[in-house]
Amino acid sequence: MLQTFYAHNHKPTARDIRRANRLAVLHQLLAHGPMSRQELSRRCDLSLATVCNVIADLLNEGIVVESGLEESQGGRPGMILALNAGLGVVAGVDVAETYIHFELFDLALHRLGAFERHLSPDENQPEQIVGYLVTGLEALLARSGVPASKLVGAGISVPGPFEHTRGVSVFAPNWGWRDVPLMDMLAEQIHVPLYLDNPLKFNVIAESWFGAGRGVQNLVALVLGTGVGAGLVINGTLHRGISNSAGEWGHTTIVFGGRQCRCGSRGCVEAYVGAPGIILTLREFAPGSEILTAGDQTAVIAALAEAARRGDAVAQQALRQTAEYLGAGIANVINLLNPEMIVLGSWVGLEIGPLILADLERAVERYALKPPLRTVRIVVGQALPNAVSTGAGLLALDQFLAESGSGTNRRRRQSE
Amino acid sequence: MLQTFYAHNHKPTARDIRRANRLAVLHQLLAHGPMSRQELSRRCDLSLATVCNVIADLLNEGIVVESGLEESQGGRPGMILALNAGLGVVAGVDVAETYIHFELFDLALHRLGAFERHLSPDENQPEQIVGYLVTGLEALLARSGVPASKLVGAGISVPGPFEHTRGVSVFAPNWGWRDVPLMDMLAEQIHVPLYLDNPLKFNVIAESWFGAGRGVQNLVALVLGTGVGAGLVINGTLHRGISNSAGEWGHTTIVFGGRQCRCGSRGCVEAYVGAPGIILTLREFAPGSEILTAGDQTAVIAALAEAARRGDAVAQQALRQTAEYLGAGIANVINLLNPEMIVLGSWVGLEIGPLILADLERAVERYALKPPLRTVRIVVGQALPNAVSTGAGLLALDQFLAESGSGTNRRRRQSE
């Protein structure tokens, strides 16, 4: 009885289908490795004829190569097809508030190399960050032994809502950035197609493709780090919102008139379950706790997790209270969106998530309505080691693949 | 640069397209009245050949009729096509906590008749409600002078999350209903296809089709009555969630540990901006206010609005505080989903909305992030007089039209 009900004037077109079929084939090869046309047809739920047409194009363009015959199972063995991993490389970069993480992938998304640059709290000027990105990409390629000419694209994650629609500007309140035209600044110095977005989008795509959310059509992947937010896959599609700033769950109110948040508002989820918020909760319970002296926020969160694991009562109390806040925030998303899965990700989520999962589930039960509660699972992220840079590499690659058939790809993308 | 990014294994199919084209044509005729194939082609953004094929089927099935030639503009005048309004009628029914509202429509969705039955607070047993629905539909048809045999479907809105996936059961915590198999109970007595859902879905569809949200692809239509919730249109599609219970915005926490909510949790949006919540806010400010003695909740809300309009300070204070709570709740949806439009609907929304809109916009500005705030509009609902029963009629009609081509429509639907 469930059916898709389209709002006024909305419908998919034949062009959408051609593009979707092409990407379905490419995505199967990316997610599951080399396979035959027959297997692609089965996995993509496309006719063999359609798969053959798509593959013919991809072979012509050099995106896909033949990589030998499959083992015969009685019949005529099929040709195995693979992504042409050697065609180029893409970079995936995660610009966070305490580090920049770089990863390099071939076109089958195998990791070729990675490195990380620490950022101190005062290193946050746009020109500085652009400089670090330029030298960092050069260093990444050099360390991986890949000539710069092989780079066909880079995905770069930057904190804060990211507006594609207004000339690709960045709004990063935590850094005091307002309308920074980061794409223009980067494009002057990096001469490959760039794909910029915020970590919420990259993280959910990585979990959807390579992590806990494989095949899940309604997925909420939480980024729990210094900042906090949610990436949304709704009905199988990345939800961007009308100006690409959807997912700012970290700045939804759960405590009316509560703690001051960095965004200027009060009582936001982030003020309670972001790393500084968790540390504040610990401080409220035990102002003199030794855990608080462990060092920077990364060190304090690690010390808190370690103390909880060895049974420290104060640490466990702080984590229980964190689970309560997080449970209320997660139940809000469950009640509003009725998703199939919630994934706890980013460094705080991966560190704290496994410790609080049982408390968290009990808290969510108290806040969520029964019908959406019955159908949701809460899990810890699996798109490791860095879901955001994996997602950034994947989207850069996807953009390259999607536009590779157009012939004008490189030229058009660079002049944007 | 914005593109649709499909999650793993998701793609539209040719079957989706055929159905979408058929519905696009029918929806244009519904929303804009009779027109030629040429105009349908233009409005639907479909080729003339596709429109001609769709229309040929619809003429064969008797869904569409030719209704004369258009006025010539020099060339050969085209044939005007119209929905076959006389083919049958559909009912749209809004079962709320204080009334049941019935409307009857022809197949072009012209209103043929309406009536309303008052419900007292103790009239809430499933058998009672089923009885009222059966006799109400008979009375609706009789009063409208339409023979019962003309009824081809009914859409019925019932309060609370509604699960299609578990054999169509209803969960209405406000009435103490848990897993009531309402569809089975109704189908025993009403022998036409029934479409049951909650008011959140019907309201947003009505606003999307005939109200404030025409053409808006990312729309949040709030139901503000005794209960509170949101209907979501996301990327042009009604968002149901994984078990059809999406939209329970009324049961998202905004005041951690705050007022007891009817759902069992605390601090929910509904406990502050549902009619009883607004009345409680007024009582907190002025326990002895005369407004509180106006009668039942409908009367008190009307008296509150009237007092505010004539400048009563206490009434204005209560509404300002309501705008503050509502603003925080609306900003949560804006930050999470980045929609294009928020519509304030249902009886409290229509009564109070125009009075608080300016305060509400200022409150939302305090809670929402700048990027999603810049692209959103907040408006009062326009799908009048009763958006929910209009939406219920529309969905019943849509289901009839969508399945009308299959030949087995009536038989199959009744045996569900």
Q: pLDDT at residue B282 above 90?
A: yes
Q: What is the mean pLDDT of residues A59-66?
A: 92
Q: Output the pLDDT for position A162.
A: 62
Both A241 and A370 in a single domain? yes
Both B250 and B335 in a single domain? yes
Give the closest-approach CA distance of B145 to chain A in angstroms.
Answer: 31
Q: Output the pLDDT for position B171.
A: 66
Q: What is the mean pLDDT of residues B11-17?
A: 66
Quote the CA–CA distance of B65 and B286 in Å, as a whole number: 61
At CA B272, angle to CA B267 and CA B273, rounded to 5? 135
Q: What is the mean pLDDT of residues B297-308?
A: 96
Which residues of chain A make contact with B248, given a CB cutoff of 8 A? 335-336, 338, 369, 372
Q: pLDDT at residue B317 above 70?
A: yes
- Name which of B294, B177, B289 is nearest B227 in CA terms: B177
Q: Output the pLDDT for position B90.
A: 96
Q: Which of B21, B248, B267 sits opposite A369 (nearest CB)?
A: B248
pLDDT > 90 in chain B, percent: 62
Is B108 or B300 the better-scoring residue by pLDDT? B300
Mean pLDDT of chain B: 88
- Name which of B392, B394, B381 is nearest B224 in CA terms: B381
Quote the CA–CA distance of B255 and B271 in Å, as a whole number: 10
Confidence label for B97 from pLDDT (cuts 50, 70 and 90): confident
Which residues of chain B make contact with A242, given a CB cutoff of 8 A? 217-218, 338-340, 372, 375-376
Q: Are A8 and B31 an interchain contact pair (Cβ–Cβ within 8 Å)? A: yes
Per mean pLDDT, which range of A168-172, A185-189, B106-110 is the poorest? Answer: A168-172
Both A345 and A247 in a single domain? yes
Is A272 or A383 the better-scoring residue by pLDDT? A272
- Name which of A244, A206, A170 is nearest A346 in CA terms: A206
Which pair of tokens denotes residue B162?
């509604």
Per mean pLDDT, which range of A127-141, A202-216, B63-77 is the poorest? Answer: B63-77
Q: pLDDT at residue A75 above 80?
A: no
Final residue before a domain boundary, out of B83, B100, B116: B83
Cα end-to-end span (Å), chain A: 45
A252, A365, A412, best to mutate vs chain B, most B CBs in 10 Å:
A252
Write the DSSP symbol of residue A245: -
Q: Looking at the domain assignment, is residue A3 inside a domain?
A: no
Q: Looking at the domain assignment, is residue A395 inside a domain?
A: yes
Are B75 and B95 in contact by the 8 Å Cβ rule? The answer is no
Q: Domain range for residue B62?
A: 14-83
Q: Output the pLDDT for position B123.
A: 82
Q: pLDDT at residue A361 above 70?
A: yes
Are B302 and B98 in contact by the 8 Å Cβ rule? The answer is no
Q: Output the pLDDT for position B410.
A: 37
Q: Are A12 and B5 an interchain contact pair (Cβ–Cβ within 8 Å)? A: no
Both B188 and B109 in a single domain? yes
Q: What's the domain count of chain B?
A: 3
Both A92 and A140 in a single domain? yes
Both B111 and B43 in a single domain? no
Q: Output the pLDDT for position A168.
A: 56
Both A166 and A150 in a single domain? yes
Final residue before a domain boundary, out of B83, B107, B133: B83
Cα distances (Å, whole numbers) of residue A407 to A151, A402, A410, A411, B207: 18, 11, 8, 9, 43
Both B47 and B195 in a single domain? no
Both A378 and A392 in a single domain? no
Both B339 and B247 in a single domain? yes
Both A377 and A404 in a single domain? no
Which distant-in-sequence residues (6+ apart) come within 8 Å of A308 by Cβ?
A: A315, A316, A318, A319, A355
Are B165 and B127 in contact by the 8 Å Cβ rule? The answer is no
Size of interface A-B (CB pairs under 8 A): 284
Q: Looking at the domain assignment, is residue B147 inside a domain?
A: yes
CATH number at residue B194: 3.30.420.40
Q: pLDDT at residue A410 above 70?
A: no
Q: pLDDT at residue A407 above 50?
A: no
Q: Output the pLDDT for position A412.
A: 35
Nearest CA in chain B to A20: B11
Mean pLDDT of chain A: 88
Final residue before a domain boundary, out of A83, A115, A137: A83
pLDDT > 70 in chain A, percent: 89
Which residues of chain A make contact with B333, given a CB cutoff of 8 A? 336
Per mean pLDDT, which range of A41-45, A305-309, A314-318 is the poorest? Answer: A41-45
Which pair of tokens denotes residue A257?
């008139």
Q: Which value does ipTM take for this structure?
A: 0.88
Q: Output the pLDDT for position A199.
A: 92
Q: Looking at the domain assignment, is residue A272 inside a domain?
A: yes
Q: What is the mean pLDDT of residues B290-319?
A: 96
Quote the CA–CA distance of B82 and B396 in Å, as a whole number: 19
Are A43 and A35 in contact by the 8 Å Cβ rule? The answer is yes
Convert the pLDDT of each residue in A192-231 to its tens digit.
999 888 899 999 999 988 889 988 999 999 999 999 999 9
Q: What is the mean pLDDT of residues B129-134?
A: 94
Q: Looking at the domain assignment, is residue A260 inside a domain?
A: yes
In DSSP terms, B43 is beta-bridged to none
Q: Looking at the domain assignment, is residue A7 inside a domain?
A: no
Nearest CA in chain A to B13: A17
Of the segments A81-95, A165-179, B14-28, B271-285, which one has the largest average pLDDT value? B271-285
Nearest CA in chain A to B215: A8
Q: What is the mean pLDDT of residues A362-369?
A: 97
Q: Global pTM?
A: 0.88
Per mean pLDDT, which range of A172-186, A223-237, A311-325, A336-350 is the poorest? Answer: A172-186
Q: Looking at the domain assignment, is residue B7 inside a domain?
A: no
Q: Are B234 and A230 an interchain contact pair (Cβ–Cβ within 8 Å)? A: no
Q: What is the mean pLDDT of residues B44-62?
A: 91
Which residues of chain A make contact with B396, given a CB cutoff of 8 A? none
Nearest CA in chain B to A241: B338
Nearest CA in chain B to A1: B164
Is B35 or A23 the better-scoring residue by pLDDT? B35
Q: Output the pLDDT for position B13.
A: 66
Both A225 and A343 in a single domain? yes
Convert the pLDDT of each residue in B356-392 to its tens digit.
999 999 999 999 998 899 999 999 998 778 899 999 9
Q: Output the pLDDT for position B236.
A: 85
CB atoms within 10 A of CB A201: 29
Q: Output the pLDDT for position B256.
A: 98
Q: Looking at the domain assignment, is residue B350 inside a domain?
A: yes
Q: pLDDT at residue A303 above 80?
A: yes
Classify the C-alpha dihedral B286-B289-B295-B301 as positive or negative.
negative
Confidence label for B331 from pLDDT (cuts 50, 70 and 90): very high
Which pair of tokens denotes residue B6?
């499909």
A2, A3, A4, A5, best to mutate vs chain B, most B CBs in 10 Å:
A5
